[in-house]
Amino acid sequence: MDEIVIPLLLWFEENKRDLDWRKNRTPYTILVSEIMLQQTRVEAVRSYYKRFIEALPDFESLAKVDDIKLLKLWEGLGYYSRARNLKKCAIEVVDKYNGIFPNTYAEAIKLPGIGPYTCGAILSMGYQLRYAAVDGNVLRVLSRYTASSLDISLEKTKLYFKQEIEKIMPKEAGTFNESLMELGATICMPKITRCEDCPLRNTCKAYRQHRQLSYPIKAKPKEKKILEYTCLFITDGMNYILIPKEKDLLNGLPSPILIDHFITSNEAIEITQDLGFIVRNIEHLPEKKHIFTHQVWYMKGYKLYVKNLLNYPNYTKEQILEELGISSCFRKFLDDLWN
């Protein structure tokens, strides 16, 4: 594959997108951008990245930020465990490495939230060390280029391509990794290929076979799990009870009282009364649907007016909108909640 290096570097220099995280390249900004870009589109990340870096410009500020502010900055990106791991990583970098991201693979890979891809991305782009950063775009490009029959969903396939890339890695390691990712994101895309604009088309096996969309090979994904929930939004007319979940998908995020099945309004009143509240009124909210990567949630909602909120954690409308980071699945109820 060594013949791809120079064409890719030349193409990237002429065609790379203007992205904020490519301007002030430091291990910290690379880390933040790469974690944000995991399972999120580039266009969706642009505004979040700028806001995040302005609020938390370095490892020290990220390590010290309180969780409420952190989750608020992350709100809308989903997969909130990424934000928590980002903070854990920053704390360890500050405590163990005096705020400087380690420049060895052995040390970097042990940090919270750092996997082979992120590790390779930071070390190559931040320190120009010759490590590969193999993401879905890279796997797609190289699978097509070599007409590979390997299943890209397998870890051993990712390791194979990582090793192959590192055999041909030039001294411009970070730029080369970016060029591969950029080609996959803008030219060699999942369902559409712009082969006429590809610098590798003359030596690409899939192109020569006219079978570009036959690659990469990937096992059929598992069907999404269907779940039903009822959300109880308990209010005294001013504040609303939101309780951090202690496990599962939304671990640590504020949420309404969540029942893991559909219930009637009478059952909602009974459950609320069992929690110690005096219920004055109940309103039925329109049902919602939210799609996660591996789950689909169908949600019923009730707004319950109670005499007082007892000692449960509660927040004003303004706090919920401006300060709290809550999952977008619950935010779907907010317009109905306040109309």
Per residue in 147-166, pLDDT (tens digit) is 999 999 999 999 999 999 99
> Which residue in 3, 34, 182, 283 is the catalytic one?
34
Say if residue 210 is in the same domain as residue 232: no
Q: What is the DSSP string of 131-164?
A: -----HHHHHHHHHHHT--SBTTSHHHHHHHHHH
Final residue of a domain: which of 214, 244, 275? 214
Q: Check residues 81 and 182 and name the one with the higher pLDDT.
A: 182
- The residue type found at 110 is K
pLDDT, tens digit, 9 for 90 and up, residues 290-323? 998 889 999 999 999 999 999 999 999 999 988 8
pLDDT of residue 138: 97
Write out the H or E segment, with its range, that includes residue 123. helix 116-127
* Domain presence at residue 219: no
- Mean pLDDT of all residues in 278-297: 94
Query: What is this structure's pTM?
Result: 0.78
pLDDT, tens digit, 9 for 90 and up, residues 204-217? 999 999 999 999 99
Final residue of a domain: which of 214, 244, 260? 214
Say if residue 36 is in the same domain as residue 178: yes
* Structural domain of 303: 225-337
24 pLDDT more than 90: no
Say if residue 62 is in the same domain as residue 206: yes
To the query of whether residue 166 is one of the catalytic residues in this protein, the response is no
* Domain presence at residue 325: yes
Question: How many folded domains does the chain comprise?
Answer: 2
- % of the chain with per-residue pLDDT over 70: 100
CB contact at 8 A, 9 and 179: yes
Say if residue 209 is in the same domain as residue 233: no
CATH number (domain holding residue 289): 3.90.79.10
Say if residue 257 is in the same domain as residue 292: yes
Phi, psi (degrees; rounded to nearest 5) at 131: -120, 140
pLDDT of residue 99: 97
Say if residue 78 is in the same domain as residue 208: yes
* Domain presence at residue 169: yes
249 pLDDT more than 80: no
What contacts 294, CB < 8 A, 6 or more positions away?
222, 224, 225
pLDDT of residue 274: 96
* Domain presence at residue 16: yes
pLDDT of residue 253: 87
